Amino acid sequence: MNRQPLPLAGFRVVDYSHFLAGPYLSRCLAALGADVIKVERPTTGDAGRQHAYFIDGQSGYFLQQNMGKKGLCINLKDPRGLEMMHRLTDAADVFVENYRPGALGKLGLGYEELSARNPGLVYCSVSAYGHTGPDSHRAGFGLIAEAKSGIMAMVGSPGEAPPLLRIALGDMYTGVHGVASVCAALLGRVKSGRGQHIDLALYDCLVSMHEYAVQCYTLSGGREIPVQTGHDLPYSTLYGVFTARDGHIVIAAQVDDAWKRFASLVGGEAFASDARFHSAQGRNDHRLEILPRVRTWVGERTVAQCLAELESADVACAKVQTIADVLADPQIAERRMVIEQEHPLLGKVRLPNLPFRFSECDTTQTVPAPLLGQHNREIAAELGYTGGEIDAMVGDGVLYAEEAVARGAASAVPGSTASR
């Protein structure tokens, strides 16, 4: 139950982004209460709609990152489509885009053009390299930023090619920074009366994410360069992945007190009382002596046995879980980290929730991602277009909707008026 309005209730966001960083950013804004209009191009829509996993022709990738939004599909190459976009942004609080720098300016949708029409607009750009610098013109994805940032060079085992991270770290981390930046700009607008341009680069965000590598290199005068270390951290012993008889676990006993409890469990009083291991530096210096003992202890036990003994000693540990394990975890269920939505074509779908929890309002998003062009008529009417004008734009392809919308399937969505 909401005892307070959602934090961003009353704000309108125009999301003209695709794939991941921008859509995730605006998904978070929608969950926080903003009215988010997802603008897409005719026929294919957001490129995320062509990204797996697919079920009955619908992309789970798109469903996850675009829930809670309304869908508008317009042809911006037609002057009427551009005029509609301008009407939309003239009344918006936030505009989110992730095109290559300069591309939207050619369409009359750059920051200078839109802010001249709407001085209060917060315009958030997400790109691979940002809008300045020698690489600003280059295309890029999260993978490119992960490789460029130095993160990939530190992952994996020495001598092997770095592995793919398998999660979109750059996109998601940039999206989170986008949420914070947009909210800060909206707060700043209260004082200044004006919006501003937020320039977010995936590359920048991942460089800023280094909690150790950058300061290690700069403070050592370039002598220390973090490299691949396999399954543990040489500068934070004991902290790593270990193999049990029936799976893998992680152990975090790098703090002095935790180490003493762990050492007593694994090697008894003699191991725990060895003064060489009583400081972080000492453990790091003697890491190659410590690791074999730990590997042997873990390898003789099952995952369950390891966890039971480690938890009894109050040592932080966990099983390396599969996604199936995660979705069956009572902790995840209690925290409502998987939500159920009613999709007009798919029926019930289960997708990840967002992690923030507010004491006075519920940000859980129950409205599924829009079908392509699902809310065309509703949004056009809100912008002042007559029924005849809307029909003409539909007939001329300025407004486009997928077949299911024309059949009225969207009317099954809670809160939808797309079939009117």
Please report whether residue 307 resides in a domain. Answer: yes
Q: Are residues 252 and 381 in the same domain?
A: no
Q: In which band, very low, low, confident or very high, does the pLDDT at 420 lie, cut at 50, 70 and 90?
A: very low
Q: Are residues 290 and 351 in the same domain?
A: no
* H-helix or E-strand spanning residue 283: helix 280-285
Q: Is the pLDDT of residue 414 over 50?
A: no
Average pLDDT score over residue span 204-228: 95
Please report whether residue 224 resides in a domain. Answer: no
At 117, list the tokens: 């029409």
Q: Are residues 261 and 359 in the same domain?
A: no
CATH number at residue 261: 3.30.1540.10
Please report whether residue 233 resides in a domain. Answer: no
Q: Are residues 92 and 189 in the same domain?
A: yes
* H-helix or E-strand spanning residue 173: helix 169-192
- In whole angstroms, give the CA distance from residue 181 to residue 198: 7
The residue out of 281, 300, 321 marking a domain boundary is: 321
Q: In which band, very low, low, confident or very high, does the pLDDT at 2 lie, cut at 50, 70 and 90?
A: confident
The residue out of 289, 321, 353 marking a domain boundary is: 321
pLDDT in tens, 278-324: 999 999 999 999 999 999 999 999 999 999 999 999 999 999 999 99
Q: Which domain holds residue 252?
A: 239-321
Q: Are residues 194 and 59 in the same domain?
A: yes
At 392, list the tokens: 């003409």
Q: Are residues 299 and 346 in the same domain?
A: no
- In whole angstroms, give the CA distance from residue 182 to residue 165: 28
Q: How much is the pLDDT for 40?
A: 98
pLDDT in tens, 7-21: 999 999 999 999 999
Please report whether residue 244 resides in a domain. Answer: yes
CA distances from 274 to 100, 123, 236, 263, 353 (A): 58, 59, 18, 9, 46
- In whole angstroms, give the CA distance from residue 25 to residue 269: 52
Residue carrying the six token digits 């480690």? 310
CA-nearest of 115, 143, 139 to 129 is 139
Q: Are residues 357 and 385 in the same domain?
A: yes
Q: Is the pLDDT of residue 419 over 70?
A: no
CA-nearest of 420, 418, 412, 419 to 70 is 418
Number of structural domains found in the chain: 2
- In whole angstroms, give the CA distance from residue 201 to residue 355: 23
CATH number at residue 39: 3.40.50.10540
The residue out of 321, 345, 364 marking a domain boundary is: 321
Contacts of 352 (CB under 8 A, 6+ apart): 64, 337, 338, 339
Instruction: Quote the longest CA-to-CA distance of the chain.
Output: 87
Q: Are residues 157 and 20 in the same domain?
A: yes
Q: Are residues 116 and 75 in the same domain?
A: yes
pLDDT in tens, 321-343: 999 999 999 999 999 999 999 99
CA-nearest of 142, 258, 157 to 200 is 142
State the pTM of this model: 0.94
Please report whether residue 262 resides in a domain. Answer: yes
- In whole angstroms, give the CA distance from residue 57 to residue 49: 9
The residues annotated as belonging to the active site are 171
Q: Are residues 306 and 340 in the same domain?
A: no
Q: Are residues 37 and 87 in the same domain?
A: yes
Q: Are residues 406 and 273 in the same domain?
A: no
**HSE (side-chain half, CA atoms, 13 Å) at 61:** 17
Please report whether residue 373 resides in a domain. Answer: yes
